[in-house]
Structure 1
Amino acid sequence: MLNRSTWDLLAECRLRQCQKLSTAAAFSVLACVLGRAVVAPLTWAVLSLLQGQAYTCALSEFVDPSIVPGFPLGKSPELLAQLPCEDSVSAELKPFWRDIQRHLKYQSQLIGWLLVATMSVAVFLLKCVRRSCSPLGHQQEEYWSQYRTAERSLFNSTAAAHAQLIAMQNVKSFFGFVSLDSAQKELLGEQPNSRPVCSTDWNRVTGVCLYREKNGLPLYSRIHKWATYSKDEMEKEMNEM
Protein backbone atom coordinates (compact mmCIF):
# COMPACT_ATOMS: atom_id res chain seq x y z
CA MET A 1 0.00 0.00 0.00
CA LEU A 2 2.99 2.30 0.55
CA ASN A 3 3.60 3.21 -3.08
CA ARG A 4 3.76 6.44 -5.03
CA SER A 5 0.07 6.42 -5.97
CA THR A 6 -0.95 6.38 -2.30
CA TRP A 7 1.05 9.52 -1.51
CA ASP A 8 -0.10 11.23 -4.71
CA LEU A 9 -3.74 10.66 -3.73
CA LEU A 10 -3.15 11.89 -0.16
CA ALA A 11 -1.34 14.98 -1.47
CA GLU A 12 -4.20 15.68 -3.89
CA CYS A 13 -6.73 15.51 -1.03
CA ARG A 14 -4.60 17.68 1.26
CA LEU A 15 -3.51 20.35 -1.23
CA ARG A 16 -6.62 20.67 -3.40
CA GLN A 17 -9.35 18.88 -1.37
CA CYS A 18 -9.86 16.63 -4.46
CA GLN A 19 -11.64 19.50 -6.25
CA LYS A 20 -10.01 18.61 -9.57
CA LEU A 21 -10.24 14.84 -9.04
CA SER A 22 -13.38 13.14 -10.32
CA THR A 23 -14.94 10.09 -8.70
CA ALA A 24 -13.83 7.88 -11.60
CA ALA A 25 -10.25 9.15 -11.31
CA ALA A 26 -10.20 8.60 -7.54
CA PHE A 27 -11.59 5.09 -8.02
CA SER A 28 -8.92 4.40 -10.65
CA VAL A 29 -6.12 5.48 -8.33
CA LEU A 30 -7.53 3.49 -5.39
CA ALA A 31 -7.93 0.43 -7.62
CA CYS A 32 -4.28 0.79 -8.67
CA VAL A 33 -3.16 1.01 -5.03
CA LEU A 34 -5.27 -1.94 -3.89
CA GLY A 35 -4.38 -4.00 -6.96
CA ARG A 36 -0.68 -3.73 -6.17
CA ALA A 37 -1.28 -4.33 -2.47
CA VAL A 38 -3.20 -7.61 -2.85
CA VAL A 39 -0.64 -9.30 -5.11
CA ALA A 40 1.52 -10.61 -2.26
CA PRO A 41 -1.28 -11.89 0.04
CA LEU A 42 -3.19 -13.48 -2.84
CA THR A 43 -0.02 -15.18 -4.07
CA TRP A 44 0.60 -16.53 -0.58
CA ALA A 45 -3.01 -17.72 -0.32
CA VAL A 46 -2.89 -19.50 -3.71
CA LEU A 47 0.41 -21.25 -2.92
CA SER A 48 -0.90 -22.28 0.49
CA LEU A 49 -4.10 -23.69 -1.02
CA LEU A 50 -2.23 -25.58 -3.76
CA GLN A 51 0.05 -27.19 -1.16
CA GLY A 52 -2.99 -28.05 0.96
CA GLN A 53 -1.25 -28.13 4.35
CA ALA A 54 -2.93 -25.11 5.93
CA TYR A 55 -6.37 -26.10 4.63
CA THR A 56 -5.95 -29.65 5.93
CA CYS A 57 -4.92 -28.45 9.38
CA ALA A 58 -7.75 -25.91 9.54
CA LEU A 59 -10.67 -28.08 8.40
CA SER A 60 -9.84 -31.61 9.46
CA GLU A 61 -12.09 -31.38 12.54
CA PHE A 62 -15.05 -30.42 10.33
CA VAL A 63 -14.63 -33.27 7.85
CA ASP A 64 -17.66 -35.44 7.14
CA PRO A 65 -16.77 -39.03 8.18
CA SER A 66 -19.24 -40.45 5.68
CA ILE A 67 -16.87 -39.64 2.80
CA VAL A 68 -14.60 -42.50 3.93
CA PRO A 69 -16.14 -45.99 3.84
CA GLY A 70 -15.89 -47.78 7.18
CA PHE A 71 -14.95 -44.70 9.20
CA PRO A 72 -16.17 -45.11 12.80
CA LEU A 73 -19.02 -42.71 13.53
CA GLY A 74 -19.42 -40.58 16.64
CA LYS A 75 -15.80 -39.41 16.84
CA SER A 76 -15.29 -36.06 18.57
CA PRO A 77 -13.94 -33.03 16.69
CA GLU A 78 -10.85 -33.14 18.93
CA LEU A 79 -9.89 -36.53 17.51
CA LEU A 80 -10.61 -35.44 13.95
CA ALA A 81 -8.44 -32.33 14.46
CA GLN A 82 -5.45 -34.63 15.05
CA LEU A 83 -5.73 -36.22 11.60
CA PRO A 84 -3.22 -33.88 9.86
CA CYS A 85 -0.55 -34.97 12.36
CA GLU A 86 0.20 -38.62 11.57
CA ASP A 87 2.06 -39.25 14.80
CA SER A 88 -0.90 -38.07 16.92
CA VAL A 89 -3.56 -40.17 15.18
CA SER A 90 -4.91 -43.05 17.23
CA ALA A 91 -4.45 -46.60 16.01
CA GLU A 92 -8.19 -46.86 15.34
CA LEU A 93 -8.15 -43.90 12.93
CA LYS A 94 -4.74 -44.50 11.36
CA PRO A 95 -6.08 -46.60 8.44
CA PHE A 96 -8.29 -43.64 7.41
CA TRP A 97 -5.64 -40.94 7.83
CA ARG A 98 -4.34 -40.96 4.27
CA ASP A 99 -7.78 -40.99 2.63
CA ILE A 100 -9.04 -38.00 4.67
CA GLN A 101 -5.84 -36.06 4.12
CA ARG A 102 -6.04 -36.71 0.35
CA HIS A 103 -9.70 -35.62 0.29
CA LEU A 104 -8.92 -32.36 2.08
CA LYS A 105 -5.96 -31.65 -0.21
CA TYR A 106 -8.16 -32.16 -3.25
CA GLN A 107 -10.61 -29.59 -1.87
CA SER A 108 -7.77 -27.17 -1.11
CA GLN A 109 -6.25 -27.48 -4.58
CA LEU A 110 -9.66 -27.04 -6.23
CA ILE A 111 -10.26 -23.81 -4.28
CA GLY A 112 -6.73 -22.65 -5.16
CA TRP A 113 -7.22 -23.13 -8.90
CA LEU A 114 -10.67 -21.49 -8.73
CA LEU A 115 -9.04 -18.50 -7.01
CA VAL A 116 -6.39 -18.32 -9.74
CA ALA A 117 -9.08 -18.45 -12.46
CA THR A 118 -11.19 -15.81 -10.70
CA MET A 119 -8.23 -13.47 -10.30
CA SER A 120 -7.22 -13.92 -13.94
CA VAL A 121 -10.71 -13.15 -15.25
CA ALA A 122 -11.08 -10.18 -12.87
CA VAL A 123 -7.75 -8.65 -13.93
CA PHE A 124 -8.59 -9.15 -17.62
CA LEU A 125 -12.03 -7.54 -17.25
CA LEU A 126 -10.63 -4.61 -15.25
CA LYS A 127 -8.00 -3.98 -17.92
CA CYS A 128 -10.69 -4.13 -20.63
CA VAL A 129 -12.85 -1.61 -18.72
CA ARG A 130 -9.85 0.67 -18.19
CA ARG A 131 -8.93 0.56 -21.87
CA SER A 132 -12.54 1.18 -22.91
CA CYS A 133 -12.87 4.21 -20.62
CA SER A 134 -9.51 5.70 -21.60
CA PRO A 135 -9.58 8.61 -24.09
CA LEU A 136 -6.25 7.42 -25.55
CA GLY A 137 -5.43 4.79 -28.10
CA HIS A 138 -3.17 1.83 -27.40
CA GLN A 139 -0.04 3.43 -28.87
CA GLN A 140 -0.48 6.67 -26.96
CA GLU A 141 -1.12 4.72 -23.74
CA GLU A 142 2.22 2.96 -24.26
CA TYR A 143 3.92 6.29 -24.96
CA TRP A 144 2.38 7.83 -21.83
CA SER A 145 3.69 4.92 -19.75
CA GLN A 146 7.19 5.35 -21.19
CA TYR A 147 7.02 9.10 -20.58
CA ARG A 148 6.05 8.63 -16.92
CA THR A 149 8.89 6.17 -16.40
CA ALA A 150 11.45 8.47 -18.05
CA GLU A 151 10.20 11.56 -16.23
CA ARG A 152 10.24 9.82 -12.83
CA SER A 153 13.79 8.54 -13.40
CA LEU A 154 15.08 11.93 -14.56
CA PHE A 155 13.22 13.78 -11.80
CA ASN A 156 14.66 11.55 -9.06
CA SER A 157 18.25 11.77 -10.34
CA THR A 158 17.98 15.54 -10.91
CA ALA A 159 16.38 16.07 -7.50
CA ALA A 160 19.25 14.19 -5.86
CA ALA A 161 21.81 16.34 -7.73
CA HIS A 162 19.89 19.54 -6.91
CA ALA A 163 19.74 18.62 -3.22
CA GLN A 164 23.52 18.05 -3.27
CA LEU A 165 24.11 21.44 -4.89
CA ILE A 166 21.96 23.31 -2.38
CA ALA A 167 23.62 21.42 0.47
CA MET A 168 27.09 22.28 -0.91
CA GLN A 169 26.23 25.96 -1.15
CA ASN A 170 24.79 26.07 2.36
CA VAL A 171 27.71 24.19 3.91
CA LYS A 172 30.18 26.43 2.08
CA SER A 173 28.31 29.50 3.30
CA PHE A 174 28.51 28.23 6.88
CA PHE A 175 32.12 27.02 6.98
CA GLY A 176 33.62 29.19 4.25
CA PHE A 177 34.62 26.10 2.27
CA VAL A 178 33.23 22.66 1.47
CA SER A 179 35.02 19.31 1.10
CA LEU A 180 34.09 17.75 -2.26
CA ASP A 181 35.17 14.83 -4.37
CA SER A 182 35.90 15.23 -8.09
CA ALA A 183 32.33 14.42 -9.23
CA GLN A 184 30.84 16.92 -6.78
CA LYS A 185 33.34 19.60 -7.83
CA GLU A 186 32.38 19.03 -11.46
CA LEU A 187 28.69 19.25 -10.58
CA LEU A 188 29.21 22.46 -8.61
CA GLY A 189 31.25 23.92 -11.49
CA GLU A 190 28.46 23.20 -13.98
CA GLN A 191 25.73 24.71 -11.78
CA PRO A 192 27.36 27.30 -9.52
CA ASN A 193 24.20 29.28 -8.77
CA SER A 194 21.45 26.75 -8.14
CA ARG A 195 18.41 28.13 -6.37
CA PRO A 196 15.89 26.39 -4.10
CA VAL A 197 12.49 25.58 -5.57
CA CYS A 198 9.65 27.51 -3.93
CA SER A 199 6.87 25.65 -2.10
CA THR A 200 4.25 26.85 -4.59
CA ASP A 201 6.03 25.12 -7.46
CA TRP A 202 6.49 21.94 -5.40
CA ASN A 203 2.75 21.88 -4.67
CA ARG A 204 1.91 22.41 -8.34
CA VAL A 205 3.84 19.31 -9.41
CA THR A 206 2.62 17.17 -6.48
CA GLY A 207 -0.55 15.08 -6.54
CA VAL A 208 -2.59 12.96 -8.90
CA CYS A 209 -2.38 13.85 -12.57
CA LEU A 210 -4.54 12.13 -15.15
CA TYR A 211 -4.47 12.78 -18.86
CA ARG A 212 -5.35 16.33 -19.87
CA GLU A 213 -5.16 18.37 -23.07
CA LYS A 214 -4.52 22.05 -23.76
CA ASN A 215 -5.27 23.45 -27.20
CA GLY A 216 -5.29 19.91 -28.56
CA LEU A 217 -1.85 19.08 -27.14
CA PRO A 218 -1.49 16.41 -24.44
CA LEU A 219 -0.40 17.12 -20.87
CA TYR A 220 1.11 13.90 -19.56
CA SER A 221 1.99 14.94 -15.99
CA ARG A 222 1.88 17.76 -13.50
CA ILE A 223 5.47 18.70 -14.39
CA HIS A 224 4.48 18.78 -18.06
CA LYS A 225 1.51 21.00 -17.16
CA TRP A 226 3.69 23.23 -14.98
CA ALA A 227 6.28 23.63 -17.74
CA THR A 228 3.60 24.50 -20.32
CA TYR A 229 1.85 27.07 -18.17
CA SER A 230 5.15 28.57 -16.98
CA LYS A 231 6.19 29.07 -20.60
CA ASP A 232 2.85 30.71 -21.41
CA GLU A 233 3.19 33.05 -18.42
CA MET A 234 6.70 34.05 -19.51
CA GLU A 235 5.50 34.77 -23.06
CA LYS A 236 2.60 36.80 -21.68
CA GLU A 237 4.93 38.89 -19.54
CA MET A 238 7.27 39.49 -22.49
CA ASN A 239 4.36 40.55 -24.70
CA GLU A 240 3.16 42.97 -22.03
CA MET A 241 6.65 44.45 -21.73
Structure 2
Amino acid sequence: MDVIQKFVKFCVDRRSAIGYGFLALITVGSQQIFSLIAFQCPCSHQNLTYGLVFLFAPAVILLVLGYFLDSRTWKLFTGCCLNPKKILPQWNPCQCFQIFLQITMNAFVVPVMWISIALLNGSFYACAMSGWQNPQHVQYVCQNKSQQCSNQLWKAPCNKTAMPSTEAVEVVLLLQAQSQVLGWWLIVASSVICLLSTCYVSCRSKVSSQQMTFWRIYIEKERDKFDQLVQEYATKLAERNLRSFFENKKPDDFDMPDNKSWEEISALCPINSNRQYYSTLHRFVENCENTDGTKKEEFMEFVDGEQSIV
Protein backbone atom coordinates (compact mmCIF):
# COMPACT_ATOMS: atom_id res chain seq x y z
CA MET A 1 0.00 0.00 0.00
CA ASP A 2 2.85 2.41 0.84
CA VAL A 3 4.46 1.70 -2.53
CA ILE A 4 1.20 2.50 -4.34
CA GLN A 5 0.77 5.72 -2.38
CA LYS A 6 4.35 6.78 -3.18
CA PHE A 7 3.79 5.99 -6.87
CA VAL A 8 0.56 8.00 -6.95
CA LYS A 9 2.27 10.93 -5.21
CA PHE A 10 5.14 10.74 -7.71
CA CYS A 11 2.68 10.86 -10.62
CA VAL A 12 0.75 13.76 -9.09
CA ASP A 13 3.90 15.78 -8.42
CA ARG A 14 5.04 15.28 -12.00
CA ARG A 15 1.67 15.28 -13.70
CA SER A 16 2.65 17.92 -16.27
CA ALA A 17 5.74 16.00 -17.43
CA ILE A 18 3.79 12.73 -17.50
CA GLY A 19 0.99 14.43 -19.38
CA TYR A 20 3.33 15.78 -22.04
CA GLY A 21 5.01 12.38 -22.34
CA PHE A 22 1.63 10.72 -22.71
CA LEU A 23 0.68 13.22 -25.41
CA ALA A 24 3.95 12.56 -27.21
CA LEU A 25 3.30 8.80 -27.20
CA ILE A 26 -0.23 9.30 -28.52
CA THR A 27 1.05 11.63 -31.23
CA VAL A 28 3.75 9.17 -32.31
CA GLY A 29 1.28 6.29 -32.42
CA SER A 30 -1.39 8.20 -34.31
CA GLN A 31 1.16 9.56 -36.79
CA GLN A 32 2.48 6.07 -37.52
CA ILE A 33 -1.03 4.66 -37.97
CA PHE A 34 -1.97 7.66 -40.11
CA SER A 35 1.08 7.11 -42.33
CA LEU A 36 0.44 3.38 -42.78
CA ILE A 37 -3.30 3.59 -43.43
CA ALA A 38 -4.00 6.90 -45.15
CA PHE A 39 -0.77 8.20 -46.70
CA GLN A 40 0.12 7.10 -50.21
CA CYS A 41 2.36 9.50 -52.13
CA PRO A 42 0.78 9.91 -55.61
CA CYS A 43 4.18 10.25 -57.33
CA SER A 44 2.80 12.87 -59.69
CA HIS A 45 2.96 16.63 -60.04
CA GLN A 46 0.57 16.81 -57.05
CA ASN A 47 3.26 15.58 -54.65
CA LEU A 48 3.90 19.02 -53.17
CA THR A 49 0.25 19.72 -52.37
CA TYR A 50 -0.41 16.19 -51.15
CA GLY A 51 2.62 16.06 -48.84
CA LEU A 52 2.06 19.52 -47.34
CA VAL A 53 -1.61 18.76 -46.67
CA PHE A 54 -0.71 15.60 -44.75
CA LEU A 55 2.02 17.49 -42.88
CA PHE A 56 0.06 20.58 -41.82
CA ALA A 57 -3.69 19.80 -42.05
CA PRO A 58 -3.74 17.51 -38.96
CA ALA A 59 -1.72 20.15 -37.08
CA VAL A 60 -4.34 22.81 -37.90
CA ILE A 61 -7.13 20.48 -36.75
CA LEU A 62 -5.27 19.77 -33.50
CA LEU A 63 -4.75 23.51 -33.00
CA VAL A 64 -8.48 24.16 -33.39
CA LEU A 65 -9.22 21.33 -30.96
CA GLY A 66 -6.73 22.84 -28.52
CA TYR A 67 -8.65 26.12 -28.53
CA PHE A 68 -11.98 24.30 -28.39
CA LEU A 69 -11.10 22.09 -25.40
CA ASP A 70 -9.55 24.87 -23.30
CA SER A 71 -12.15 26.11 -20.82
CA ARG A 72 -10.48 29.53 -20.72
CA THR A 73 -11.43 30.08 -24.37
CA TRP A 74 -15.11 29.97 -23.49
CA LYS A 75 -14.62 31.99 -20.30
CA LEU A 76 -12.95 34.67 -22.41
CA PHE A 77 -15.35 34.81 -25.36
CA THR A 78 -18.75 33.69 -24.06
CA GLY A 79 -21.11 36.67 -24.17
CA CYS A 80 -18.43 39.08 -25.40
CA CYS A 81 -20.59 40.20 -28.37
CA LEU A 82 -23.38 41.33 -26.04
CA ASN A 83 -21.00 42.72 -23.41
CA PRO A 84 -17.62 43.80 -24.88
CA LYS A 85 -16.37 44.77 -21.40
CA LYS A 86 -16.05 41.06 -20.63
CA ILE A 87 -13.22 40.67 -23.10
CA LEU A 88 -11.82 44.18 -22.54
CA PRO A 89 -12.20 45.04 -18.83
CA GLN A 90 -11.44 48.75 -18.30
CA TRP A 91 -11.02 48.68 -22.12
CA ASN A 92 -7.52 47.33 -21.63
CA PRO A 93 -6.56 45.12 -24.63
CA CYS A 94 -3.33 43.97 -22.96
CA GLN A 95 -5.25 41.80 -20.47
CA CYS A 96 -7.21 40.10 -23.24
CA PHE A 97 -4.04 39.60 -25.30
CA GLN A 98 -2.20 38.08 -22.33
CA ILE A 99 -4.95 35.55 -21.67
CA PHE A 100 -5.29 34.71 -25.37
CA LEU A 101 -1.50 34.23 -25.60
CA GLN A 102 -1.61 31.75 -22.72
CA ILE A 103 -4.42 29.83 -24.42
CA THR A 104 -2.54 29.86 -27.73
CA MET A 105 0.69 28.54 -26.21
CA ASN A 106 -1.19 25.62 -24.67
CA ALA A 107 -3.06 24.97 -27.91
CA PHE A 108 0.19 24.84 -29.92
CA VAL A 109 1.72 21.99 -27.87
CA VAL A 110 0.11 19.07 -29.71
CA PRO A 111 0.33 20.58 -33.25
CA VAL A 112 4.06 21.21 -32.78
CA MET A 113 4.45 17.63 -31.56
CA TRP A 114 2.65 16.37 -34.67
CA ILE A 115 4.77 18.42 -37.09
CA SER A 116 8.00 17.48 -35.31
CA ILE A 117 7.26 13.76 -35.35
CA ALA A 118 6.06 13.91 -38.96
CA LEU A 119 9.31 15.64 -39.97
CA LEU A 120 11.39 13.08 -38.07
CA ASN A 121 9.55 10.34 -39.94
CA GLY A 122 10.36 12.06 -43.24
CA SER A 123 7.71 10.50 -45.48
CA PHE A 124 5.45 13.55 -45.82
CA TYR A 125 8.34 15.95 -46.43
CA ALA A 126 10.07 13.66 -48.95
CA CYS A 127 6.85 13.31 -50.92
CA ALA A 128 6.18 17.05 -50.88
CA MET A 129 9.71 18.18 -51.79
CA SER A 130 10.00 15.66 -54.60
CA GLY A 131 7.15 17.52 -56.27
CA TRP A 132 8.66 20.99 -55.81
CA GLN A 133 9.90 22.08 -59.23
CA ASN A 134 12.02 24.99 -58.05
CA PRO A 135 15.16 25.00 -60.29
CA GLN A 136 17.62 25.57 -57.42
CA HIS A 137 15.97 22.84 -55.34
CA VAL A 138 16.01 20.34 -58.23
CA GLN A 139 19.63 21.18 -59.01
CA TYR A 140 20.65 20.66 -55.38
CA VAL A 141 18.83 17.34 -54.99
CA CYS A 142 19.97 15.96 -58.34
CA GLN A 143 23.57 17.12 -58.06
CA ASN A 144 25.98 14.62 -59.66
CA LYS A 145 23.08 12.49 -60.87
CA SER A 146 21.69 11.57 -64.29
CA GLN A 147 19.37 13.79 -66.34
CA GLN A 148 16.41 11.54 -65.49
CA CYS A 149 16.64 12.76 -61.90
CA SER A 150 15.79 16.33 -62.91
CA ASN A 151 13.00 15.24 -65.26
CA GLN A 152 11.35 12.64 -63.01
CA LEU A 153 12.17 13.73 -59.47
CA TRP A 154 8.50 13.48 -58.47
CA LYS A 155 8.59 9.71 -59.16
CA ALA A 156 11.48 9.04 -56.77
CA PRO A 157 9.39 8.29 -53.60
CA CYS A 158 7.70 5.41 -55.44
CA ASN A 159 10.92 4.21 -57.13
CA LYS A 160 9.10 4.30 -60.48
CA THR A 161 11.50 6.69 -62.17
CA ALA A 162 13.73 5.96 -65.15
CA MET A 163 16.82 6.94 -63.14
CA PRO A 164 18.93 4.14 -61.63
CA SER A 165 17.41 2.69 -58.49
CA THR A 166 20.44 3.66 -56.42
CA GLU A 167 19.97 7.32 -57.39
CA ALA A 168 16.27 7.17 -56.48
CA VAL A 169 17.15 5.77 -53.06
CA GLU A 170 19.79 8.46 -52.56
CA VAL A 171 17.30 11.20 -53.46
CA VAL A 172 14.70 9.90 -51.02
CA LEU A 173 17.32 9.50 -48.27
CA LEU A 174 18.52 13.08 -48.86
CA LEU A 175 14.98 14.47 -48.60
CA GLN A 176 14.31 12.42 -45.48
CA ALA A 177 17.57 13.67 -43.94
CA GLN A 178 16.49 17.27 -44.61
CA SER A 179 13.14 16.51 -43.01
CA GLN A 180 14.75 15.06 -39.89
CA VAL A 181 17.10 18.03 -39.53
CA LEU A 182 14.12 20.40 -39.74
CA GLY A 183 12.28 18.25 -37.21
CA TRP A 184 15.12 18.46 -34.69
CA TRP A 185 15.47 22.21 -35.25
CA LEU A 186 11.74 22.62 -34.57
CA ILE A 187 12.03 20.60 -31.35
CA VAL A 188 15.06 22.62 -30.20
CA ALA A 189 13.42 25.95 -31.08
CA SER A 190 10.18 24.99 -29.31
CA SER A 191 12.08 23.87 -26.21
CA VAL A 192 14.09 27.11 -26.07
CA ILE A 193 10.98 29.25 -26.56
CA CYS A 194 9.16 27.31 -23.84
CA LEU A 195 12.10 27.68 -21.45
CA LEU A 196 12.53 31.40 -22.11
CA SER A 197 8.82 32.15 -21.80
CA THR A 198 8.62 30.21 -18.53
CA CYS A 199 11.66 32.04 -17.15
CA TYR A 200 10.23 35.39 -18.25
CA VAL A 201 6.89 34.76 -16.57
CA SER A 202 8.59 33.53 -13.40
CA CYS A 203 10.94 36.53 -13.29
CA ARG A 204 8.04 38.98 -13.61
CA SER A 205 5.81 37.15 -11.14
CA LYS A 206 4.73 39.25 -8.16
CA VAL A 207 3.95 36.20 -6.05
CA SER A 208 6.38 33.72 -4.52
CA SER A 209 6.95 30.21 -5.79
CA GLN A 210 5.29 28.71 -2.70
CA GLN A 211 2.22 30.89 -3.15
CA MET A 212 2.01 29.85 -6.78
CA THR A 213 2.13 26.21 -5.67
CA PHE A 214 -0.65 26.85 -3.17
CA TRP A 215 -2.67 28.64 -5.85
CA ARG A 216 -2.40 25.73 -8.33
CA ILE A 217 -3.48 23.25 -5.63
CA TYR A 218 -6.37 25.52 -4.64
CA ILE A 219 -7.58 25.85 -8.25
CA GLU A 220 -7.49 22.09 -8.71
CA LYS A 221 -9.36 21.40 -5.45
CA GLU A 222 -11.92 24.13 -6.14
CA ARG A 223 -12.60 22.68 -9.60
CA ASP A 224 -13.09 19.18 -8.17
CA LYS A 225 -15.40 20.39 -5.40
CA PHE A 226 -17.29 22.60 -7.85
CA ASP A 227 -18.02 19.60 -10.09
CA GLN A 228 -19.20 17.59 -7.09
CA LEU A 229 -21.52 20.32 -5.80
CA VAL A 230 -22.86 21.05 -9.28
CA GLN A 231 -23.87 17.40 -9.56
CA GLU A 232 -25.41 17.47 -6.09
CA TYR A 233 -27.42 20.67 -6.54
CA ALA A 234 -28.48 19.79 -10.07
CA THR A 235 -29.79 16.46 -8.77
CA LYS A 236 -31.67 18.16 -5.93
CA LEU A 237 -33.21 20.74 -8.28
CA ALA A 238 -34.24 18.08 -10.77
CA GLU A 239 -35.77 15.97 -7.99
CA ARG A 240 -37.63 19.01 -6.57
CA ASN A 241 -39.07 19.93 -9.98
CA LEU A 242 -40.09 16.37 -10.78
CA ARG A 243 -41.77 15.90 -7.41
CA SER A 244 -43.65 19.16 -7.91
CA PHE A 245 -44.81 17.98 -11.33
CA PHE A 246 -45.87 14.47 -10.40
CA GLU A 247 -47.36 15.42 -7.05
CA ASN A 248 -49.12 18.43 -8.60
CA LYS A 249 -48.12 20.87 -5.86
CA LYS A 250 -46.20 24.10 -5.52
CA PRO A 251 -42.45 23.50 -5.44
CA ASP A 252 -40.45 24.18 -2.29
CA ASP A 253 -38.17 27.19 -2.19
CA PHE A 254 -34.76 26.48 -3.67
CA ASP A 255 -32.01 29.07 -3.35
CA MET A 256 -29.90 29.46 -6.49
CA PRO A 257 -27.35 32.06 -7.65
CA ASP A 258 -28.75 34.65 -10.03
CA ASN A 259 -27.47 35.23 -13.56
CA LYS A 260 -25.16 38.03 -12.47
CA SER A 261 -23.50 35.78 -9.91
CA TRP A 262 -22.91 33.08 -12.51
CA GLU A 263 -21.47 35.75 -14.79
CA GLU A 264 -19.09 36.95 -12.10
CA ILE A 265 -17.62 33.55 -11.28
CA SER A 266 -17.26 32.69 -15.00
CA ALA A 267 -14.85 35.57 -15.66
CA LEU A 268 -11.08 35.24 -15.88
CA CYS A 269 -9.94 37.04 -12.76
CA PRO A 270 -6.40 38.20 -11.91
CA ILE A 271 -4.89 37.68 -8.49
CA ASN A 272 -4.84 41.04 -6.73
CA SER A 273 -1.71 42.22 -4.98
CA ASN A 274 -3.65 43.73 -2.07
CA ARG A 275 -6.23 40.99 -1.60
CA GLN A 276 -5.48 37.33 -2.03
CA TYR A 277 -8.21 36.19 -4.39
CA TYR A 278 -7.21 32.85 -5.83
CA SER A 279 -10.19 32.48 -8.18
CA THR A 280 -13.22 34.35 -9.43
CA LEU A 281 -15.35 32.32 -7.03
CA HIS A 282 -13.08 33.29 -4.14
CA ARG A 283 -13.31 36.96 -5.10
CA PHE A 284 -17.08 36.77 -5.42
CA VAL A 285 -17.55 35.12 -2.03
CA GLU A 286 -15.20 37.53 -0.24
CA ASN A 287 -16.40 40.67 -2.00
CA CYS A 288 -20.02 40.17 -3.02
CA GLU A 289 -20.86 43.84 -2.56
CA ASN A 290 -18.31 45.01 -5.18
CA THR A 291 -18.50 42.65 -8.15
CA ASP A 292 -19.15 45.16 -10.92
CA GLY A 293 -15.49 45.07 -12.01
CA THR A 294 -15.19 48.87 -12.00
CA LYS A 295 -12.33 48.97 -9.52
CA LYS A 296 -8.93 48.82 -11.15
CA GLU A 297 -6.78 45.94 -9.94
CA GLU A 298 -3.07 45.33 -10.20
CA PHE A 299 -2.53 42.19 -12.23
CA MET A 300 -0.21 39.54 -10.86
CA GLU A 301 -1.11 36.20 -12.40
CA PHE A 302 -4.28 35.10 -14.12
CA VAL A 303 -6.40 32.47 -12.51
CA ASP A 304 -6.40 29.37 -14.74
CA GLY A 305 -3.28 30.86 -16.30
CA GLU A 306 -1.56 27.47 -16.13
CA GLN A 307 -3.35 24.25 -16.85
CA SER A 308 -2.20 20.68 -16.33
CA ILE A 309 -2.35 18.26 -19.20
CA VAL A 310 -3.70 15.54 -16.92
Aligning the two structures, in what range does the TM-score lie when normalised by the shorter sequence?
0.7 to 0.9
Taking structure 1 as reference, are residues 8 and 67 closer, same or farther at Cα in structure 2, changes over 3 Å only?
closer
Aligned twin of 2:221: 150
Aligned twin of 1:236: none
How far is the alpha carbon of 1:202 from its aligned partner? Answer: 0.9
Aligned twin of 1:225: 283
Taking structure 1 as reference, are residues 11 and 65 closer, same or farther at Cα in structure 2, changes over 3 Å only?
closer
Aligned twin of 1:41: 111
SS in 2 for 1:161: helix
Aligned twin of 1:160: 231
SS in 1 for 2:74: helix
1:28 equivalent to 2:101? Answer no
Write the letter of the residue equivalent to 1:64: V
Taking structure 1 as reference, are residues 147 and 12 closer, same or farther at Cα in structure 2, changes over 3 Å only?
farther
Stretches of structure 2 lacking an aligned partner (at least 5 in a row):
1-66, 291-310
Contact 2:131 2:154 (C-alpha < 8 Å) held by counterparts: yes
1:198 equivalent to 2:258? Answer yes
Aligned twin of 1:96: 167
SS in 1 for 2:270: coil
> Where in structure 2 are the equivalents of 1:61-100 lying within 5 Å?
61-62=131-132, 63-65=137-139, 70-73=144-147, 77=151, 79-86=152-159, 88-90=160-162, 92-100=163-171
Aligned twin of 2:62: none
How far is the alpha carbon of 1:98 from its aligned partner? Answer: 1.4
Structure 1: how far apart are the matches of 2:131 and 2:283?
62
Write the letter of the residue equivalent to 2:270: L
Contact 1:84 1:101 (C-alpha < 8 Å) held by counterparts: yes
CA offsets, 1:81-120, max 9 Å, x none?
Answer: 010112x222x33230111111111111110000001000
Structure 2: how far apart are the matches of 1:93 and 1:24?
60
SS in 1 for 2:156: coil
Contact 2:139 2:150 (C-alpha < 8 Å) held by counterparts: no
Write the letter of the residue equivalent to 1:44: W
Write the letter of the residue equivalent to 2:209: H
Of 128-137 and 10-19, the range deviating more from structure 2: 10-19
Aligned twin of 1:137: 208
2:120 counterpart (45, 50, 72):
50
SS in 1 for 2:276: strand
Structure 1: how far apart are the matches of 2:221 and 2:91?
24
Write the letter of the residue equivalent to 1:8: K
Taking structure 1 as reference, are residues 113 and 75 closer, same or farther at Cα in structure 2, changes over 3 Å only?
closer
CA RMSD of aligned residues (A): 2.5
Contact 1:204 1:226 (C-alpha < 8 Å) held by counterparts: yes
1:208 counterpart (268, 282, 285):
268
Write the letter of the residue equivalent to 1:94: S
CA offsets, 1:13-34, max 9 Å, x none?
Answer: 4543422474443222111211
Q: TM-score, normalised on structure 2?
A: 0.63
1:119 counterpart (190, 194, 199):
190
SS in 2 for 1:226: helix
Stretches of structure 1 lacking an aligned partner (at least 5 in a row):
178-191, 233-241
State the number of aligned residues.
Answer: 214
Structure 1: how far apart are the matches of 2:267 and 2:225?
18
Aligned twin of 1:185: none
Structure 2: how far apart are the matches of 1:131 and 1:75?
53
How far is the alpha carbon of 1:36 from its aligned partner? Answer: 1.9
How far is the alpha carbon of 1:68 from its aligned partner? Answer: 5.5
SS in 2 for 1:219: coil
